[in-house]
A and B are shown apart, each in its own frame.
Chain A
Amino acid sequence: MAASAVPHKRVHPIRSFLVGDEPMTTGLWGIIFFIFSEIMFFAGLIAAMLALHSDTLLWEPTNGGHRVEGDHLLPILFTVLLVSTSIPMQLAAFAIRKGNRKAMLINMAIVLVVGTAFIINQYFEWEHADFGISDGPYAATFYTLTGFHGAHVIGGLVFIFAQWLRGLLGHFDAKRNTAIEAATLYWHFVGFVWLLVIFPLVFFLS
């Protein structure tokens, strides 16, 4: 590989942790830029939610329904679960950097199972909500934000599943693993945008 001709510079530990010591491939650069655009997308949605919340008399669902509160067990449990899947995902990346494809596959399987469970729980949150999407700003932002986040989780899961299948077929090694690194970065993004922004806003903003 051409990049190996370039002598390794000292890499920052955070960079080393996230994407390894190898020179970053174009694919990784691409996914990082793409994640920035995703951050701006969610920033737009969240700014909309905050603006609506700050200046409306009709926040509560207008059909008399009840906002979904996050202070009971299930939402918190699944938030913790989703964010903690960043750990097996990162472990999968560590594993493949060392060329350990089997450990990678096991860790990715954990991510897939827990991620799917999160989506199923989100489905039941929607089922249990006693308001529709047209019942005022809160209701509309609730479905929009959780819906778009859910779609991103599903997208991430599909991508990880595809890479998992490729791993089964013997793809990836210590050098050629951009897709795994990209999936890891994306998965961190999906988890943290939930933990830091959507979960506290949707479930605790009164």
Chain B
Amino acid sequence: MATLAGAQTTPYAGANVWRTVLEWLTTVDHKKIGIMYLWAAGAFGLVGMAFSLVMRTELAQAGTIISAETYNSIFTMHGSVMIFLFLLPVGAAFMNYSMPLQIGALDMAFPRINALSFWIFLFGGALLAMSFAVEGGTASAGWTAYPPVTLDTGNNAEPPGAGMDMWLVGVILLGQASIFGSVNFLVTIFKMRAPGMTMWRLPLFTWTTLVTGLLILLSTPVLAAALVLGFIDRNGAEGAFFDPANGGQPLLWQNLFWFYSHPAVYIMILPAMGIVSDVFGVFTRRPIFGYRSMVLALVGIGLLGFIVWAHHMFTTGGVFLPFFMGATFLIAVPTGVKMFNWIATMWRGSNVFPTAMLFSVGFLMLFLIGGITGVFHAAVPVDFALHDTYFVVGHFHYTMSIAATFGFLAGCYYWFPKMFGKFMNEGLGKLHFWLLFIGVNLVFFTQLLLGLDGMPRRINDYVANPGWELMNMLITIGAFVSAAGMMVFLYNVFYSLKWGERAGSDPWEGTTLEWATTSPPPAHNFDSLPEIRSERPLFDLRFGERLQDDPHYHVNNGHNGNGHGRGGTAQPSESAREEG
């Protein structure tokens, strides 16, 4: 371990490159696995963005440039890559990297299963990528893959080829990686906390990891069931599950699929919410307002997430509308609570605005629009008008795609110094922020308007009319502006890795335990831990003295309980490796 720790501090300057490569390929260190998730997901994200640029180029004007088959394949892979290979694993990357540090653990509960998760994820991603090479191309029925258009049974005019099977198997693998990961996160949080780190002292990012883990654990297997049935339907059952020609039901897929995929929206957005919560806590020097109500809102969102799946199916005519409408409306309440708590955290704060904070504020603004447009969809009659138009595309991009991405970018700027010991360049960061913020609003706000005007989604060409052509052109321009922003980010990453300003162990005056160790941390994470008396132990260490007489200061008024955390830093791995 000691030699690994030595290599860790200079990961890019190893004399022996092959040794370093081998070390990364065989690592079970949660930090390295987290960083590998980040690189892999980032690369997939760039691929997904390239797909979106192809789509936007095609749609910029009426008429076609690429064939309908190619377009369908591209939009399917854009959705699949962005969701399964970018948003979900980026969340997993930060959860891997930061959560064990935040609870003062030595590593994950099951380090080797953690590595296994990563490699299964990569293999699943490779399978999706390879489907470009097979005859018939990739899956091309959207990331939702509604049968019967995915099936090769009699009534489908253009049955997809082997790419569809590879998609199904690939997503099963990605789901399995998620499930293993979630078990790991949950056990780590429950069993590996440092002494003093009670549940009510967990940083909010760790809380979101916990709720996300539970959502993954309970919803992903249902997706696996749907995918397995889909695979059997294509390879043997001849539509007995999903094609009415052989007794199946198309809506059955949608029910199973959304039972996972609605919680999946929260699986993507909750970690981003956790990141911005932590960022607000640090850069305002204020406690997160309503810490407990934040946790309860998280749990509430998680629970409601399991009973609203059918709001994706309002226009199918096959669901009980009032129940799902009511449950969907209710989600506005916990989300609203979170929004107000974040604002109240900044209220009367001692706020500074480095790039991480800018992205967090951007998150609030984007998520606000996403949340409000969600209420439009919750009202079933309005959804009848807006479903499957560009309004829904704008809505879900505002929430789970762009807001989540802003949260994750905040996480990049925030944790980059911890991961690599160097700051990201602030000037480039601000350029990145403004380009991206303007770009995505141009794209997705215009999409909302386009949807109101009745343009359906998933079409590769549209009837030319002046309004649609202009709006589509604006969206395309916005997409390229956003892409330019992301190029700035990419440059910033490599620039900062090479020439970035050195960061100490705690460059932001952080509040949570990851800042109590060196940057980057040693393989064993901590040499010593401060006393943990609240959800922000480092803040207590830094300012506790000065706040001795402040009646509002958490630690003074006993609001944080005095439970005992179990596990610890000295011996957590022992029970984990007992069966070794």
Instruction: Tell whether, in the assembled complex, residue B578 and residue A36 are in contact, meaning their CB atoms are under 8 Å apart.
Output: no
Instruction: Tell whether, in the assembled complex, residue A133 and residue B183 are in contact, meaning their CB atoms are under 8 Å apart.
Output: no
Instruction: Tell whether, in the assembled complex, residue A144 and residue B228 are in contact, meaning their CB atoms are under 8 Å apart.
Output: yes
A137 interface residue per 8 A CB criterion: yes
Interface residues of B in 485-501 (CB under 8 A from A): none
A87 to chain B: closest CB distance in Å? 24
Q: How far does the alpha carbon of A136 sit from the alpha carbon of B228 in the complex, in Å?
A: 17
A100 interface residue per 8 A CB criterion: no
Contacts A62-B246, A62-B247, A135-B240 given: A26-B228 contact, CB under 8 Å?
no
Residues on A with C-beta less than 8 A from B225 are: 41-45, 48
Residues on A with C-beta less than 8 A from B109 are: 26, 29-30
Instruction: Tell whether, in the assembled complex, residue A2 and residue B187 are in contact, meaning their CB atoms are under 8 Å apart.
Output: no
Instruction: Tell whether, in the assembled complex, residue B252 and residue A48 are in contact, meaning their CB atoms are under 8 Å apart.
Output: yes
Contacts A45-B225, A134-B240 given: A33-B217 contact, CB under 8 Å?
yes
Residues on A with C-beta less than 8 A from B219 are: 40
A3 interface residue per 8 A CB criterion: yes
Q: How far does the alpha carbon of A25 sit from the alpha carbon of B219 in the complex, in Å?
A: 25
Residues on A with C-beta less than 8 A from B247 are: 52, 56-59, 62, 136-137
Q: How far does the alpha carbon of A62 sit from the alpha carbon of B238 in the complex, in Å?
A: 12
B40 to chain A: closest CB distance in Å? 23
Main secondary structure of the interface of B (DSSP, over half): helix
Residues on A with C-beta less than 8 A from B240 are: 133-137, 139-141
In the complex, which residue of chain B has the Cβ closest to the Cβ of A36?
Answer: B217
Instruction: Tell whether, in the assembled complex, residue B578 and residue A148 are in contact, meaning their CB atoms are under 8 Å apart.
Output: no
Residues of A within 8 Å of B, CB-based: how many?
44
Question: B579's contact among A40, A51, A136, A179, by CB below 8 Å, is which?
Answer: A179
Question: B190's contact among A2, A29, A52, A134, by CB below 8 Å, is which?
Answer: A29
Instruction: Tell whether, in the assembled complex, residue B218 and residue A47 are in contact, meaning their CB atoms are under 8 Å apart.
Output: no
Question: A26's contact among B187, B222, B236, by CB below 8 Å, is which?
Answer: B187
Interface centre among A3, A6, A41 (most CB of B within 10 A): A41
Per-position 1/0 for A36-74, Cβ under 8 A of B: 111111111101100110011111001000000000000
Instruction: Tell whether, in the assembled complex, residue A29 and residue B232 are in contact, meaning their CB atoms are under 8 Å apart.
Output: no
In the complex, which residue of chain A has the Cβ closest to the Cβ of B226?
Answer: A44
Contacts A27-B576, A136-B247, A137-B248 given: A51-B190 contact, CB under 8 Å?
no
Q: How far does the alpha carbon of A196 sit from the alpha carbon of B420 in the complex, in Å?
A: 53
How many A-B contacts are there with CB distance less than 8 Å? 141
Instruction: Tell whether, in the assembled complex, residue B241 and residue A48 are in contact, meaning their CB atoms are under 8 Å apart.
Output: yes
B224 interface residue per 8 A CB criterion: yes
Per-position 1/0 for B265-294, Cβ under 8 A of A: 000000000000000000000000000000
Interface residues of B in 222-260 (CB under 8 A from A): 222-226, 228-229, 232-233, 236-238, 240-241, 246-249, 252, 255-256, 259
B346 interface residue per 8 A CB criterion: no
Contacts A25-B575, A62-B246, A176-B579 given: A40-B221 contact, CB under 8 Å?
yes
Question: A44's contact among B184, B191, B217, B222, by CB below 8 Å, is which?
Answer: B222
Residues on B with C-beta less than 8 A from A58 are: 246-247
Q: How far does the alpha carbon of A134 sit from the alpha carbon of B245 in the complex, in Å?
A: 12
Interface size class of B (residues with CB under 8 A): 35 or more
Instruction: Tell whether, in the assembled complex, residue A37 and residue B232 are in contact, meaning their CB atoms are under 8 Å apart.
Output: no
Contacts A33-B187, A45-B229, A52-B248 given: A25-B220 contact, CB under 8 Å?
no
A54 to chain B: closest CB distance in Å? 10
B64 interface residue per 8 A CB criterion: no
Residues on B with C-beta less than 8 A from A57 are: 247
Residues on B with C-beta less than 8 A from A43 are: 221-222, 225
A178 interface residue per 8 A CB criterion: yes
A30 to chain B: closest CB distance in Å? 5
Q: How far does the alpha carbon of A47 sit from the alpha carbon of B225 in the complex, in Å?
A: 10
Per-position 1/0 for B407-434, Cβ under 8 A of A: 0000000000000000000000000000
Residues on B with C-beta less than 8 A from A45 are: 225, 228-229
Instruction: Tell whether, in the assembled complex, residue B571 and residue A2 are in contact, meaning their CB atoms are under 8 Å apart.
Output: yes
Contacts A26-B191, A30-B187, A48-B256 given: A133-B218 contact, CB under 8 Å?
no
In the complex, which residue of chain A has the Cβ closest to the Cβ of B216?
Answer: A37
Contacts A137-B241, A139-B240 given: A178-B252 contact, CB under 8 Å?
no
In the complex, which residue of chain B has the Cβ closest to the Cβ of A44?
Answer: B225
B120 to chain A: closest CB distance in Å? 14
B193 to chain A: closest CB distance in Å? 12
Question: A178's contact among B179, B220, B255, B579, by CB below 8 Å, is which?
Answer: B579
Q: How far does the alpha carbon of A62 sit from the alpha carbon of B320 in the complex, in Å?
A: 31
B186 interface residue per 8 A CB criterion: yes
Q: How far does the alpha carbon of A178 sit from the alpha carbon of B576 in the complex, in Å?
A: 10
In the complex, which residue of chain B has the Cβ closest to the Cβ of A147?
Answer: B232
Q: How far does the alpha carbon of A26 sit from the alpha carbon of B108 in the complex, in Å?
A: 10
Contacts A1-B574, A27-B578, A41-B221 given: A51-B249 contact, CB under 8 Å?
yes
Instruction: Tell whether, in the assembled complex, residue A30 and residue B221 are in contact, meaning their CB atoms are under 8 Å apart.
Output: no
B142 to chain A: closest CB distance in Å? 21
Residues on A with C-beta less than 8 A from B223 are: 44
Instruction: Tell whether, in the assembled complex, residue B187 and residue A52 are in contact, meaning their CB atoms are under 8 Å apart.
Output: no
In the complex, which residue of chain A has the Cβ closest to the Cβ of B213?
Answer: A33
Instruction: Tell whether, in the assembled complex, residue A37 and residue B218 are in contact, meaning their CB atoms are under 8 Å apart.
Output: yes
Instruction: Tell whether, in the assembled complex, residue A44 and residue B252 are in contact, meaning their CB atoms are under 8 Å apart.
Output: no
Question: A29's contact among B187, B218, B246, B249, by CB below 8 Å, is which?
Answer: B187
B539 interface residue per 8 A CB criterion: no
B110 interface residue per 8 A CB criterion: yes
Instruction: Tell whether, in the assembled complex, residue A140 and residue B232 are in contact, meaning their CB atoms are under 8 Å apart.
Output: yes
Instruction: Tell whether, in the assembled complex, residue B224 and residue A41 are in contact, meaning their CB atoms are under 8 Å apart.
Output: yes
Interface centre among B182, B248, B568, B575 (most CB of A within 10 A): B575
Q: How far does the alpha carbon of A184 sit from the alpha carbon of B165 in the complex, in Å?
A: 35
A34 interface residue per 8 A CB criterion: yes
B192 interface residue per 8 A CB criterion: yes
Instruction: Tell whether, in the assembled complex, residue B186 and residue A33 are in contact, meaning their CB atoms are under 8 Å apart.
Output: yes
Residues on A with C-beta less than 8 A from B182 are: 33, 37
A44 to chain B: closest CB distance in Å? 3
Residues on A with C-beta less than 8 A from B236 are: 133-134, 140
Interface centre among B183, B191, B240 (most CB of A within 10 A): B240
Q: How far does the alpha carbon of A30 sit from the alpha carbon of B220 in the complex, in Å?
A: 16
B216 to chain A: closest CB distance in Å? 9
Q: How far does the alpha carbon of A139 sit from the alpha carbon of B187 in the complex, in Å?
A: 39
9 A-B residue pairs with Cβ-Cβ distance under 8 Å, sorted by A, are: A33-B187, A34-B179, A37-B217, A48-B252, A52-B249, A133-B237, A134-B246, A137-B248, A144-B229
| 6 additional A-B residue pairs with CB within 8 Å, beyond A26-B110, A133-B232 | A27-B575, A27-B576, A30-B109, A30-B187, A44-B259, A140-B241
Closest 8 CB pairs of A and B: A44-B225, A58-B247, A140-B240, A41-B221, A44-B222, A40-B221, A140-B237, A2-B571
Listed in ascending order, the chain B residues whose CB lies under 8 Å from chain A are 109-110, 113, 179, 182-184, 186-187, 190-192, 217-226, 228-229, 232-233, 236-238, 240-241, 246-249, 252, 255-256, 259, 566, 568, 570-571, 574-576, 578-579
Listed in ascending order, the chain A residues whose CB lies under 8 Å from chain B are 1-3, 6, 25-27, 29-30, 33-34, 36-45, 47-48, 51-52, 55-59, 62, 133-137, 139-141, 144, 148, 176, 178-179
